[in-house]
Structure 1
Amino acid sequence: MSKGKHAGHGTPVTRYEDQWGQEQGNAQWMPSGMVPINPYSRSSYAEGLANKKGKRRRRKRIGITIALVIIAMLVCAGTAAALYFTNQIKTIDENFSQGLDADIEDALVETNAPSDPFYVLLMGTDESIERSEDNTFGGIYRTDTIILARVDPGNKKVTMISIPRDTQVDMGEYGLQKINAAYAYGGASLAVKTVSELCDVDIAHFVLVDMDGLAAIVDNLGGIEVDVPMEIDDEDYTGHLDAGLQTLDGWQTLIFARSRHAYDSVGDGDLLRAANQRTVISAIVDKLFQSDIITMSTSITNLSSFIQTDLTVSEIVEYAQALKGIDTTTDVYSATAPVESVYENNIWWCKLITSEWEEMLSRMKQGLAPTEEQEVDSATGIVLSSVGDSGTASVTADTNATSTASVTQDGNVVVKNGSGVSGAASSAASMLAKAGFNVTEVGDADSDKYKSTLIIYASDEFADEAKTINETLGGSNTVMKNDGTYTMTGDLLVVLGSADAS
């Protein structure tokens, strides 16, 4: 049942101003030479929230603790139950809701029962010293950590997918943007709407956490045990950590969870940092399990001052009872959305790899791990995706989830856009991937003047598969065997024509 319909924020932005914080050369997360149009500039948006919700405290936010908040508090049923009968409840609920924008309830959906799977958007923003001093963005900052979590209390499973901050999305009236701009443009409401559309799921809860919360909770617990896979020497950005199994205090945990430049010489810093953040989440949950009730109660009470969420203590208690006993070594699955870096118009974007992304979402909705096998970075030893006991444990699929495993085809399918219609190839590739075809490449054809869609197969063994592709794409396309006319890099080539691209 929907809590309401999302309300848009403002009018389309046609001009922007300044550069917003990207570190790759002159790359920006918004086109250069443009300024926000009032009254929907960042400063005006912040003033609007203040008028609606009272003066909002400016707090330093980061996303490492966001998943901790939702997972740790949900699994600690004993702590929640203890807090339930104390006078701390009112304080915690007030802390939780402080600063939420008025439209957030309209963007979320209700869960049917405490045991049903539901989705949570976990977000955190990072604030630089310079921004803190000059109030450049009026208290509204980029969400540099974005995690979609699927929580399944009935089967005691949690799945986390990190979404890279530079992921390109169509933000409606704001045009093509990096996904970390959503919160700055429209607060929690627009962030929820954007991620919901990107992932094709309904989101039930929103959580955002301050930077200070991570160090505070870790120190309150007496540190967490983490096996640091390689030495981190990032003095200009975070700090230094030796490699190996060790107990990290709050500040050291921040170093481990924030550092990405330490990996510049060995791999993708953003990808490896996201994996480290999920490691921190599991380590904190494990430490909470080992703590006594008083320590856990104090931790959660203190932590409530550092977060924003629509959840109340009573809701947490309800979910916690169902999740009690979760094993983070087998019951928590994680991965990062598959993307490729693309440099366009002086901006670095992360673009989703359509076929892999569709398969990841399909697995998540079925209650499976996002990837079939665990992935480990060979250079650093960092676990990029974890599968736990996926494949052997009981699962509950989303009501609208469909499996593609039984219809997976053998041939490699290349989809080319010959229609002149922007996005036609990506749409067709997504449709084929959902139907189980192995789409290996998406791009532009040698011409954009094709009228009809062509489906070309390299040899007779792929003839039946070509016919199935034709049926998937509507059944009115031309199917033929390659006679040498077409250069093919796969087993099947789909060239979209203008008659079928709309």
Structure 2
Amino acid sequence: MTQRDYTRERKRRKRKKIAMIAIGAVVVLCLGGAGAAFAFYQNISDKLHAGVDPALRDALVATDMAGEPFYVLLMGVDGSSEREASSEYAGDQFRSDSIMLTRIDPQKKQVTLVSIHRDTLVDMGEYGQNKINAAHAIGGPSFAVETISDFAGVDISHYAEINFDGFKEIVDALGGVEVNVPMEIDDDMAGGHLDAGLQTLDGDQALVLCRSRHAYDDYGDGDSYRAANQRLVLAAIAKKLLSSDVATMANTITSLSGYVTTDLGITDIIGIAQTMQGLDPDNDIYSAMEPTTSEYIGDVWYEITDVEAWKEMMNRVDQGLPPTEEDVVDEASGTVLASTGSGPKGPSSSAGSGSSSTKKSGSVAVRNGNGIAGAGAEAAERLEALGYHNVDAGNAENFNYAKTVVVYREEGQADEAQEIADALGASVVKHNDGTYVFDTGFLVVLGADWK
């Protein structure tokens, strides 16, 4: 089964009611300065704590929220009211669709958002190896906290979870949020269409942006782009809420309380927010995603963590540095995959890291056209070293190709195609005139001249 087959299979699945995590983060980062207004909402705390049990509180590590950095696990769970009412999912513990580990530094007024692939393969002890998003379904919030704390190597102090329905409510309660949509999105699986450019999104539109994966099938890992857009919308919500009046804040927290589960109380939230006042979302929020590669194991696709790169990233985060040394922007789609804000880049903590390339967003199909055993796998390794992590290797329709060819789809990809050719020693680079049939951004056919 190729990556292409996997993508098609996922497109055929029944639309998932993907849970969004942005609201949980907003609660933690942004609410404040309106303590008197919230005095009328004594029942809100009970709503927020519904589902918080002693096991979860035991899994969390206490910290001084006003005086030292701490981590919050933000999770979106596919448990919308429509899904809960469905007989198909009756009685289910829902898997988390969005996982974000957040470091909050109240002294420096900085926030770091690190998204974690939901399909990351981890060892869950007595439960064996599973995708990391299964932790919530297996043991609820407490087991999710324990699993992700072990995986990231940090203590987690607080937890916030939101379902599908709450996302629309919070954005609409704010009167929409202003977002510069990186590229046009036309994704029925995500709920519709969005034009590119700066615009004010309502709840439904923001949800489309945060759900969309298949709009990026020609660019690379759809989950990475979706997570990047979720962080983009989160920053927009934070910016809007920070500039809102007391009435809007009160309306927002009221809308929020029915859809969020968190160990934080109202006074906790207000205290954090008051400490974080002055945070500039454009410069004081760092973001990135866990570095992984995709592997097909036992008829299932998993994300396999680059352990050394992950350790380096989390070491930087724990030091208060941005997760990456520089911004990572996909030039083809304009999506910001990693942001360093205005923070210090700092030295890399990894000694002797073997890769100096920036992760590429394009997808590449490698086809063995010479019959040399292992040629396709070797070419794929070279491309991964170049920064391409969405490479599909297989055989061509025959082994009679004399020369290695690099084919690109779009006119603007010529320079990138030449870079691929240089890395592989290919002698021919051409724009596809319809001769070649492929769905990826680039096609490489290895000929007899392959070395």
TM bracket (short chain): 0.7 to 0.9
2:74 to 119, 122, 129: 122
1:262 CA displacement:
1.1
Partner residue of 1:174?
127
| Residue type of the alignment partner of 2:98 | T
1:110 to 57, 62, 66: 62
**Residues 26 and 298 of structure 1, relative CA distance in 2, 3 Å threshold:** closer
**Residues 330 and 236 of structure 1, relative CA distance in 2, 3 Å threshold:** closer
1:82 to 33, 36, 51: 36
Partner residue of 2:20?
63
CA contact (8 A) 1:120 1:150 kept: yes
| Cα offsets for 1:279-298 (capped at 9, x unmatched) | 01000111112221111111
**Residues 337 and 67 of structure 1, relative CA distance in 2, 3 Å threshold:** farther
Q: How do residues 26-45 of structure 1 correspond to structure 2 at under 5 angstroms?
A: none
**Residues 262 and 131 of structure 1, relative CA distance in 2, 3 Å threshold:** farther
| Cα offsets for 1:415-460 (capped at 9, x unmatched) | xxxxxxxxxxxxxxxxxxxxxxxxx89xxxxxxxxxxxxxxxxxxx
Percent of aligned positions that are identical: 47
Partner residue of 1:490?
none
| Cα offsets for 1:245-265 (capped at 9, x unmatched) | 111111111111111111112
CA contact (8 A) 2:294 2:304 kept: yes
Distance 2:282 2:26 in 1: 18
1:136 CA displacement:
2.5
Partner residue of 1:222?
175
| Cα offsets for 1:134-166 (capped at 9, x unmatched) | 153514211010000001111100001000100
Does 1:362 pair with 2:362? no
1:278 to 231, 251, 268: 231
Distance 2:6 2:252 in 1: 35
Q: How do residues 145-224 of structure 1 correspond to structure 2 at under 5 angstroms?
A: 145-224=98-177
Aligned residue pair count? 347
1:301 to 254, 261, 266: 254
| Structure 1 gap segments, 5+ residues each | 1-21, 28-59, 394-402, 414-439, 442-502
Partner residue of 1:35?
none
| Residue type of the alignment partner of 1:77 | G
Distance 2:30 2:264 in 1: 14
Distance 2:309 2:353 in 1: 16
CA contact (8 A) 1:182 1:194 kept: yes
Does 1:96 pair with 2:56? no
Secondary structure of the equivalent of 1:253? helix
Distance 2:317 2:353 in 1: 23
CA contact (8 A) 1:67 1:281 kept: no
2:351 to 391, 395, 408: 408
1:339 CA displacement:
0.3
**Residues 125 and 411 of structure 1, relative CA distance in 2, 3 Å threshold:** closer
Secondary structure of the equivalent of 1:389? coil
| Structure 2 gap segments, 5+ residues each | 11-16, 357-384, 387-451
Distance 1:318 1:254 in 2: 29
CA contact (8 A) 1:63 1:146 kept: no
1:185 CA displacement:
0.5
CA contact (8 A) 2:67 2:107 kept: yes
| Residue type of the alignment partner of 1:328 | P
| Cα offsets for 1:363-389 (capped at 9, x unmatched) | 000000000000001220000000011
Distance 2:294 2:155 in 1: 28
Does 1:144 pair with 2:97? yes
Distance 2:6 2:96 in 1: 15
1:102 CA displacement:
3.7
Secondary structure of the equivalent of 2:36? helix
Does 1:238 pair with 2:194? no
Distance 1:392 1:193 in 2: 30
**Residues 149 and 382 of structure 1, relative CA distance in 2, 3 Å threshold:** same
CA contact (8 A) 1:259 1:273 kept: yes
| Cα offsets for 1:396-423 (capped at 9, x unmatched) | xxxxxxx864x8348779xxxxxxxxxx
CA contact (8 A) 1:76 1:324 kept: no
Distance 1:295 1:187 in 2: 33
Distance 2:134 2:157 in 1: 21
Partner residue of 1:451?
none
CA contact (8 A) 1:115 1:322 kept: no
**Residues 321 and 187 of structure 1, relative CA distance in 2, 3 Å threshold:** same
Secondary structure of the equivalent of 1:267? coil
**Residues 66 and 190 of structure 1, relative CA distance in 2, 3 Å threshold:** farther
Distance 1:372 1:263 in 2: 25
1:75 CA displacement:
2.9
Distance 1:279 1:296 in 2: 20
| Residue type of the alignment partner of 2:44 | I
| Cα offsets for 1:17-63 (capped at 9, x unmatched) | xxxxx975779xxxxxxxxxxxxxxxxxxxxxxxxxxxxxxxx7712
Does 1:387 pair with 2:340? yes
Secondary structure of the equivalent of 2:64? coil
CA contact (8 A) 1:26 1:347 kept: no
1:67 CA displacement:
4.3
Distance 1:137 1:181 in 2: 17
**Residues 412 and 392 of structure 1, relative CA distance in 2, 3 Å threshold:** closer
Does 1:260 pair with 2:217? no
**Residues 276 and 61 of structure 1, relative CA distance in 2, 3 Å threshold:** closer
Runs of 4+ in 1 over 3 A off after TM superposition: 22-27, 66-71, 127-132, 407-413
| Residue type of the alignment partner of 2:351 | T
CA contact (8 A) 2:325 2:348 kept: no
Distance 1:265 1:123 in 2: 27
Say what the alpha-carbon RMSD is for the aligned residues: 2.5
CA contact (8 A) 1:214 1:254 kept: yes
